[in-house]
Amino acid sequence: MAAAPIDRRLAALEERYDARVGVSLLDTGDGAAYSYRGDQRFGFASSVKVLVAAELLRRTGSAERAELVRWTQDDVDAAGYSPVTEAHVDRGLPLLRLAEAAVRESDNTATNLVLERLDGPAGLTRGLLGRGDTTTVLADDEPGLNEVSPGSPANTTTPDAFVADLRALLGPEWLTDADRRLLLGWMSGNPGGDPLIRAGAPAGWRVAQKSGGAGPVRNDVAVLTPPDGRAPVLLAVLTTRLDPSAPYDDALVADAAEVALGALEAS
Cα 66 to Cα 115, 118, 230, 247, distances in angstroms:
16, 16, 36, 39
Q: Label residue 75 by pLDDT band (50, 70, 90).
A: very high
For the four alpha carbons of 166, 170, 172 and 178, in that order, the dihedral sign comes to positive
- Kindly report the length of the chain: 267
- Closest by CA to 78, choosing from 141, 149, 146, is 141
**Which residues are identified as catalytic?**
46
Mean pLDDT for the chain overall: 96
pLDDT, one tens digit per residue, over 106-129 is 999 999 999 999 999 999 999 999
Separation of alpha carbons 18 and 33, rounded Å: 26
CA atoms within 13 A on the CB side of 153: 11
Q: Looking at residue 191, what is its pLDDT?
A: 80
266: pLDDT strictly greater than 80: no
1: pLDDT strictly greater than 70: no
What are 234's strand-pairing partners? 26, 223
138: pLDDT strictly greater than 90: yes
Question: Virtual CA dihedral for 154, 155, 159, 163, nearest 10 degrees?
Answer: 110
Could you give the percent of the chain with pLDDT greater than 70?
99
243: pLDDT strictly greater than 80: yes
220-239: average pLDDT: 96
Q: Looking at residue 157, what is its pLDDT?
A: 98
- Selected residue with higher pLDDT from 266 and 157: 157
Q: Looking at residue 156, what is its pLDDT?
A: 98
pLDDT, one tens digit per residue, over 92-110 is 999 999 999 999 999 999 9
Domains of the chain: 3-266 (3.40.710.10)
pLDDT, one tens digit per residue, over 163-195 is 999 999 999 989 999 999 999 999 997 888 999
Q: Looking at residue 94, what is its pLDDT?
A: 98
Separation of alpha carbons 110 and 81, rounded Å: 10
CA atoms within 13 A on the CB side of 212: 30
Q: Which helix (H) or strand (E) holds 184?
A: helix 177-186
Asked if residues 176 and 158 have their Cβ atoms less than 8 Å apart, the reply is: no
